[in-house]
Structure 1
Amino acid sequence: MATSSIEYEGSDLGVGDFVLLSEITKEAFVQNLKLRFEKGRIYTYIGEVLVSVNPYRELSIYGHEYITSYKGCEMFERPAHIFAIAEAAYRTLKQRSTNSCIVISGESGSGKTEASKIILRYIAAVTNISNQAEIQRISNILIQTNVILETFGNSRTNRNDNSSRFGKYMDLNFDYKFDPIGGKIQHYLLEKSRVVKQQLGERNFHAFYQLLSNKNSRQNYGLLLKPEDYYYINQGQCCKIDRIDDKKDHEQVTEAFNTVGFTQDEISTIWKIIASIIHLGNLTFTDVDGEHCAIVQTNDQNDPLEWISKLLECEQTDISSALTLRVVAARNEVFQARQNVTRAYYGRDALSK
């Protein structure tokens, strides 16, 4: 789609702002949205709100010529586009010297994560032309931070191969010339339950499968079984997805770690924790006398308890005690009580989360 084509919006492309619909009904709304989508227009306004439909394919509407077309323009001077929203927020920041905010919401798979990346690229492109290298560096760090967050907070669901399982608030900081000088990303409401339980057809977080895609990591962290043999990552029975290249993604997150500034010790510690969680999922318990239990050890190179002990640098007895005993406080007295099998599995899952 050429730049000139987006300048033109005739009646054959539907109504570019739902406020201007002659008939405000659900049927008219959906029909207009469908018509515009079929014509390659994935963006439509509702006043100052932008409705976006995920095309699930690459579109050539985010290049330099489009950025130039929207830079410095009022929101309704150009057809509906996410660049117009980004420009409006940035212009408000400059003109009023006050904070500006863009809220991106939608169901899983609607394109929220990609929208935030597009806004970042636009801001980086229209600010401080004379010092683009520094702006690009800051923008790249924020984008690479997103790569890390997606690795440990995104997973494959039945509706989306890269579904964010957490909320995110991104802060961009500007100097007195209104050029970006840094940023901060806050995350919240991570779906921790996914670590220990997934529905059929869904996967655990990407990090687990990326680790298992690296042969050296598997040897170093004792992950010698097939991915399908690890309980925590195969409950959805889809360890391997053709559309997801875990090996390539692992290389990208390694690069992102280095770009953001993680040390090699920090990176190694992170992957050790991920490997420990995988081993924890294969830790099993046996009943002793109906009320007490013990950890089952295989006494071979795949023994989960031995590898958890190595990776977390803890004594096996300490790990065993933490999972098979519980601390009870009663009447100013603290003592340890043994766990049954059911409670031990609850404790294992709680530790993993």
Structure 2
Amino acid sequence: MGTPVNIIVGSHVWVEDPEVAWLDGEVTEIKGRDATIITTDGKTIIADISGIYPKDTEAPPAGVDDMTKLAYLHEPGVLYNLACRFSLNEIYTYTGNILIAVNPFRRLPHLYDIHMMEQYKGAAFGELSPHLFAVADTCYRAMINDHGSQSILVSGESGAGKTETTKMLMRYLAFMGGRSGTEGRTVEQQVLESNPVLEAFGNAKTVKNNNSSRFGKFVEIQFDKNWKISGAAIRTYLLERSRVCQVSDPERNYHCFYMLCAAPQEDVKKYKLGDPKTFRYLNQSNCYDVANVDDAKEYLETRNAMDIVGINQVEQNAIFRVMRNHATTFKAAELLMCNEKSLEDSLCKRVIVTPDGNITKPLDPDSAAFSRDALAKTVYSRLFDWIVDKINSSIGQDQNAACLIGVLDIYGFESFKINSFEQLCINFTNEKLQQHFNQHVFKMEQEEYTKEEIDWSYVEFVDNQDVLDLIEKKPGGIIALLDEACMFPKSTHDTFAQKMYQTYKAHKRFSKPKLA
């Protein structure tokens, strides 16, 4: 938690508060482990001395633009500094070469215009106010000067602003590496226009975020030997398939379904659409609209973006046919252009293969509904993959690229009352990123200090490697146990749970729920 310091009577400190996280005040008395603090708003708090932190009384009222300038680099000091800057509309702050962004939840176009890009072009890192253009510019220069590929990691919890940040980073790289006066659609134009298409099919309104990415994305922007953009590739991960069939209040399904329902009248007729309230997969929640979002306008913008990324009108019509929520097997078969009887049989019957021949058994209604949902999820997932492949082949990859810059935007950490397996995968991915961060910011730096015999005080940090091992280690990790359980025909949720309780009973990072 930063520099160790003695807390004495008269010390200015931060003390934890359940409502506002931290309050500042002065220590008036210390008895054993208990300290009495009078806060600046007049409260008297008694707290354990180990839970209070020194306040930097000489810090400027406007905060500092780089956290490494703080006298004490602890949680209350960091949060207070960010709050001071945010109150002055400064949403960016450095911690060394890491940029922290605080989501303003409003558009700030002046921060990202061409004039701002021109200012950061070639400026030394830290010379101007903190900005994500400075990070992108440093990345571009490092690629040129070191002749090496680079990556920018954009991480944070759901709703932190990762997707918007990624778009701005890509705009800056397109500005630096774009080709002026190129005829037709340029690579950088297509890369930027891939965003609205992927958002339409891969983003949804969640509890925390009106435009939440429900998939992970790694964009590789390829550069030729003149450092101009020569190709690109979009890799996607972990699309949240379950959302297609299962939506809880107050969330929505993927944006594209609502856009299609709000399309111009001729398109609504063509795809046999109407009010989203009439469709089973859309009416499970009572949320059909998103504040300040015009679905009809978004539909037209998405179709325009599809034109730019090389998805033609025939392909667009096919996409919307596949997306159409199925009311009856007749309509589903008609839209999917398949045989109605075959479709009905595949959903309502199962075939058991025996040595004496095949036995066809009808499914009960619940099992048939399960088959229907599985088909819908698989079709949507394949459609999403097809769109990504189409965008990639349209943009084109440069097999002879000199270097690339990768921008990683994965969906953020979330924790609900009930978390699905997909949520475990999402949160596990975030933990892997955190370990990468720990590795580079704490472990490697501190090893360097020791090697160079620099006099320094060790910075404590929570190392999550044991959590990662618990989940992913082979053999014996949770995922390995789950793989094993899936191979045994008599496995159930309960037998899997019992196996985990047995295997990890002594593991400090695993606890058995007190209730069933």
- Tell me if structure 2 keeps the 8 A contact 1:128–1:135: no
Matched, 1:88 2:171: no
Identity %: 34
Of the candidates 179, 185, 199, which is equivalent to residue 234 of structure 2?
185
Q: Indicate the residue corresponding to 1:239 in structure 2.
A: 288
Alignment of 1:201-240 (within 5 A): 201-214=250-263, 215-224=265-274, 226-240=275-289
Inter-partner Cα distance in structure 2 for 1:270 and 1:184: 21
Superimposed CA distance per residue, residues 96-130 of structure 1 (whole angstroms, 9 cap, x where no aligned partner)? 1110110111111111111111112212223367x
Q: Indicate the residue corresponding to 2:206 in structure 1.
A: 157
Superimposed CA distance per residue, residues 66-95 of structure 1 (whole angstroms, 9 cap, x where no aligned partner)? 212211122122221101100111011101
Q: Indicate the residue corresponding to 2:304 in structure 1.
A: 255
Inter-partner Cα distance in structure 2 for 1:19 and 1:139: 36
Of the candidates 77, 88, 98, which is equivalent to residue 28 of structure 1?
77
Of the candidates 328, 340, 349, which is equivalent to residue 325 of structure 1?
349
- Tell me if structure 1 keeps the 8 A contact 2:185–2:308: no
Inter-partner Cα distance in structure 1 for 2:306 and 2:61: 48
Q: Which consecutive unaligned segments of at least 5 residues does structure 2 have?
A: 1-58, 378-516
Inter-partner Cα distance in structure 2 for 1:332 and 1:77: 79
| Cα distance change, pair 332–258 in 1 and its aligned pair in 2 (3 A) | farther
Inter-partner Cα distance in structure 2 for 1:310 and 1:152: 22
- Tell me if structure 1 keeps the 8 A contact 2:218–2:236: yes
Q: Indicate the residue corresponding to 1:7 in structure 2.
A: none
* 1:11 partner SS: coil
Matched, 1:145 2:145: no
Q: Indicate the residue corresponding to 2:154 in structure 1.
A: 104
Q: Indicate the residue corresponding to 1:71 in structure 2.
A: 121
* 2:99 partner SS: strand
Q: Point out the structure with max Rg over C-alpha.
A: 2
Matched, 1:349 2:399: no
Matched, 1:198 2:258: no
Q: Indicate the residue corresponding to 1:286 in structure 2.
A: none
Q: Indicate the residue corresponding to 1:264 in structure 2.
A: 313
Q: Which amino acid aligns with 2:235?
A: Q
- Tell me if structure 2 keeps the 8 A contact 1:43–1:51: yes
Inter-partner Cα distance in structure 2 for 1:52 and 1:208: 31
* Cα drift, residue 132 of structure 1: 5.2
- Tell me if structure 2 keeps the 8 A contact 1:222–1:307: no
Of the candidates 288, 293, 316, which is equivalent to residue 340 of structure 2?
316
* Cα drift, residue 136 of structure 1: 7.9
* Cα drift, residue 162 of structure 1: 0.7
- Tell me if structure 1 keeps the 8 A contact 2:193–2:309: yes
* Cα drift, residue 27 of structure 1: 1.1
* Cα drift, residue 323 of structure 1: 0.6
Matched, 1:305 2:329: yes
Inter-partner Cα distance in structure 2 for 1:20 and 1:132: 44
Q: Indicate the residue corresponding to 2:99 in structure 1.
A: 50
Higher relative contact order (CA 8 A, sep 6+): 2
- Tell me if structure 2 keeps the 8 A contact 1:210–1:247: yes
Inter-partner Cα distance in structure 2 for 1:54 and 1:332: 65
* 2:118 partner SS: helix
Q: Which amino acid aligns with 1:231?
A: R
Q: Which amino acid aligns with 1:325?
A: K
Q: Indicate the residue corresponding to 1:290 in structure 2.
A: none
| Cα distance change, pair 273–315 in 1 and its aligned pair in 2 (3 A) | same
Q: Which amino acid aligns with 1:269?
A: A
User: TM (normalized to structure 1)?
Assistant: 0.85
Q: Which amino acid aligns with 2:132?
A: I
- Tell me if structure 2 keeps the 8 A contact 1:221–1:307: no
Inter-partner Cα distance in structure 2 for 1:133 and 1:12: 49
Superimposed CA distance per residue, residues 309-348 of structure 1 (whole angstroms, 9 cap, x where no aligned partner)? 2111122211110110112234585432211111001001
* Cα drift, residue 13 of structure 1: 2.4
- Tell me if structure 1 keeps the 8 A contact 2:178–2:188: no
Q: Which amino acid aligns with 2:338?
A: C
* Cα drift, residue 170 of structure 1: 0.1
Q: Which consecutive unaligned segments of at least 5 residues does structure 1 have?
A: 1-9, 283-303
- Tell me if structure 2 keeps the 8 A contact 1:135–1:181: no
Q: Single out whichever of 37-46 and 333-342 deviates more from structure 2.
A: 333-342
Q: Single out whichever of 309-318 and 328-337 deviates more from structure 2.
A: 328-337
Superimposed CA distance per residue, residues 294-314 of structure 1 (whole angstroms, 9 cap, x where no aligned partner)? xxxxxxxxxx22211211112
| Cα distance change, pair 29–332 in 1 and its aligned pair in 2 (3 A) | farther
Inter-partner Cα distance in structure 1 for 2:190 and 2:215: 20
Q: Indicate the residue corresponding to 1:127 in structure 2.
A: 177
* 1:262 partner SS: coil
Q: Indicate the residue corresponding to 2:472 in structure 1.
A: none
Of the candidates 167, 174, 177, which is equivalent to residue 216 of structure 2?
167
* 2:151 partner SS: coil
Q: Indicate the residue corresponding to 1:117 in structure 2.
A: 167
Q: Which amino acid aligns with 2:352?
A: V
In terms of fraction of residues, the more helix-rich structure is 1
Q: Indicate the residue corresponding to 2:26 in structure 1.
A: none
* 2:150 partner SS: coil
* Cα drift, residue 229 of structure 1: 1.7
Q: Single out whichever of 25-34 and 332-341 deviates more from structure 2.
A: 332-341
User: TM (normalized to structure 2)?
Assistant: 0.59
- Tell me if structure 2 keeps the 8 A contact 1:196–1:352: yes
